[in-house]
């Protein structure tokens, strides 16, 4: 039986920065399918409305497993918002319109890949059993960007293990792994893909996206990331491809994004037949990495999104 309830009710972090932790379910007969972040605030006395990204960035960083297993999952609020959009979930948003008007934004953090889209399927054998990650940690940013008096409610959706076919039927839970770096023209860099499990997708953020390039005849080298690939040892096993190609593959609607620097390389997150993600046979190995060729000398974030299949 699916259960939906509030894990956090209208938490007020005050006007300054704050990091707050909450207990996640500890019963391993409960499988956490997703968390829903419901942010409400009000527009302060500014001449312009806040943006969706302004509101999402009030959740500066979201982590699981703070004490028992540090950083099982880690993502910035603004990146989670754009990840929702890239996966087909269009967050509910109200940006105000007048001084002191309510503003709001909702985001989903799925631990079951099939809980991130309008076509939610509660019966899929994915999710995180209780007790694997003891804590949810949210780092709040200080009030700003035309926002004040923010509050956070967190909803949680769980299923009983037996309703998903029993513990032996569970296949894993989805996690985000953040790498933040500064690129350089023509320089290759590699980033780890945590084991174990499968690689479902890679989310990229580039300060200078293809849409920002205005130099005559320059199509790639002044973009933050020129191309990306997946390697095993010295061998390229996927790619190399430009980040624009990921958007084409993914059916990306860039008009919904807060910044066109976000892109998603979908590697089989919602396979309807067979196993999710790559490698097709076996699991992520210690020598698998994401490799990028740098362009503009500015910031990038690279998130391998994995299906962790160790459930105890």
> Which segment, 211-215, 249-253, 274-278, is predicted with the most confidence on average?
274-278
Write down the architecture of domain 3-171 according to CATH. Answer: Distorted Sandwich (2.70)
Chain segment 98-140, per-residue pLDDT in tens: 777 888 899 999 999 999 877 788 889 999 998 888 889 999 9
Give the pLDDT score at 112: 94
Query: How high is the pLDDT of residue 259?
Result: 75
pLDDT tens sequence across 149-200: 899 999 999 999 888 888 788 899 999 999 999 999 999 999 999 988 999 9
pLDDT of residue 213: 75
Higher pLDDT pick, 222 / 46: 222
Q: What does the alpha-carbon distance between residue 204 and residue 79 come to, in Å, rounded to a whole number?
A: 9
For position 88, what pLDDT does the model report?
83
The answer to whether the pTM exceeds 0.85 is: yes
Q: DSSP state, 79? A: H
Average pLDDT for the chain:
87
Rounded to whole angstroms, how far apart are CA atoms 3 and 20? 24
Which residues of the chain form CATH 2.70.9?
A: 3-171
CATH annotation of 177-308:
2.60.120.730
Which residues of the chain are in CATH 2.60.120.730 domains? 177-308
């Amino acid at each position: 039986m699916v259960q939906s309830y509030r894990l956090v009710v209208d938490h007020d972090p005050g006007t300054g920065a704050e990091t707050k932790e909450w207990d996640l379910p500890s019963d391993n007969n409960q499988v956490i399918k997703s968390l829903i972040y419901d942010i409400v605030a009000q527009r302060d006395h500014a001449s312009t409305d806040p943006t969706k990204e302004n509101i999402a960035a009030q959740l500066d960083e979201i982590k699981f497993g703070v004490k028992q297993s540090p950083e099982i999952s880690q993502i910035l609020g603004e990146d989670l918002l754009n990840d929702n959009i890239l996966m087909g979930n269009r967050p509910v948003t109200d940006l105000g319109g007048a001084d002191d008007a309510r503003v709001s934004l909702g985001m989903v953090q799925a631990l079951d890949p099939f809980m991130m889209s309008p076509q939610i399927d509660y019966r899929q054998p994915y999710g995180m059993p209780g007790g694997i990650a003891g804590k949810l940690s949210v780092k709040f940013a200080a009030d700003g960007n035309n926002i004040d008096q923010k509050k956070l409610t967190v909803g949680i959706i769980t299923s009983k293990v037996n309703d998903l076919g029993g513990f032996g039927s569970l296949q894993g839970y989805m996690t985000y792994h953040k790498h933040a770096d500064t690129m350089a023209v023509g320089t290759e860099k590699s980033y780890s893909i945590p084991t174990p499990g499968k690689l479902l997708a890679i989310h990229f953020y580039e300060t200078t996206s293809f849409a920002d390039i205005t130099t005559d005849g320059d199509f790639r080298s002044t973009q933050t990331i020129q191309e990306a690939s997946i390697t095993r040892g010295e061998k390229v096993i996927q790619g190399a491809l430009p980040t624009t190609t990921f958007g084409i593959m993914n059916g990306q609607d860039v008009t919904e994004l807060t910044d066109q620097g976000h892109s998603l390389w979908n590697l089989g997150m919602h396979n309807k037949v067979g196993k999710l993600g790559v490698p097709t046979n076996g699991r992520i190995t210690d020598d698998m990495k994401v490799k990028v060729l740098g362009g503009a000398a500015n910031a990038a974030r690279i998130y391998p999104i994995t299906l962790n299949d160790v459930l105890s």
